[in-house]
Amino acid sequence: MSVSPSASAPAPAPTTASAPPTQAELLDFVRRTAADAELIASLPLDPEGRTWVRLEGPGGSEAWLIGWPPGTGTGWHDHAESVGAFVTAAGELKEYSLAARLPADGWKTLELTDGVDRERRLPAGKGRAFGRHHVHEVLNESTDEHAVSVHAYYPPLPQIRRYSRVGQVLRLEQVERPEDWQ
C-alpha cells in the first residue's frame, strides 16, 4: 500500500457548526468530489496495492480518495460508530454487505441468517451512504482496470473492525485504530 500526501477537494457543502454532517451530506460531498476529473487523475496508481490521499471532508468528517488496482479489495470490515458514504469515480467496484445490524461489542463469532447478503455493482458515478456498524467488503473485480473511489466518514474513524467469513460464519479478527493506517 502507498500513502500519498493530502490533496485538496471541492469545497464541502455548508453545514452548521454544531450539526454533524448527515449521510446525505456525505454522499453529496463524495459525488461532487468524484466528479472532479482533475483531482481523480492526480491520484498516483500503484499496480501492486491500493493508494490513497486524505481529503478535507465536510463538517469535520474524514475523507479519502482511494485507488484500487485490478483484483484488490478491503476484506470484510465495518467503520464502528461512523456513518459514511462512497462513490466510484473511475472503473467499477462491487460491494458485498450484510442487511443486518450486528451487535457493536461483546462477540467474536456470529452465525448469519439466510437472506442477509446484499451485492451492489458500483460503476463510475454510483455510490451509497451507510449507517453505523455497516459490515461490508469492497472489491475491484476487474482483471485489467484500476478503479478510483471517494469515501467520507463521520465522526472520523475511531476504529475499523476486520472480519473473516466462511459461509454464514462471521468472525471478528482484528480491531484497527487510526494510528494503524495513517
Positions in the chain whose pLDDT score sits under 70: 1-18, 181-182
Is 160 domain-assigned? yes
At 102 the pLDDT is 78
Spatial distance between the Cα atoms of 41 and 55, rounded to a whole number of angstroms: 15
At 181 the pLDDT is 66
Query: How big is the chain by its Cα radius of gyration, in Å?
Result: 16
| Total number of domains in the chain | 1
Domain extent at residue 169: 10-181
> For residue 103, what is the domain's CATH number?
2.60.120.10
Exposure string for 163-172, b = 16+ CB within 10 A, e = fewer: bebeeeebeb
Is 58 domain-assigned? yes
Is 156 domain-assigned? yes
At 106 the pLDDT is 79
At 16 the pLDDT is 47
Is 155 domain-assigned? yes
Is 87 domain-assigned? yes
pLDDT digits (tens, 9 = 90+) for 135-150: 999 999 999 999 999 9
Cell numbers at 19, concatenated: 450539526
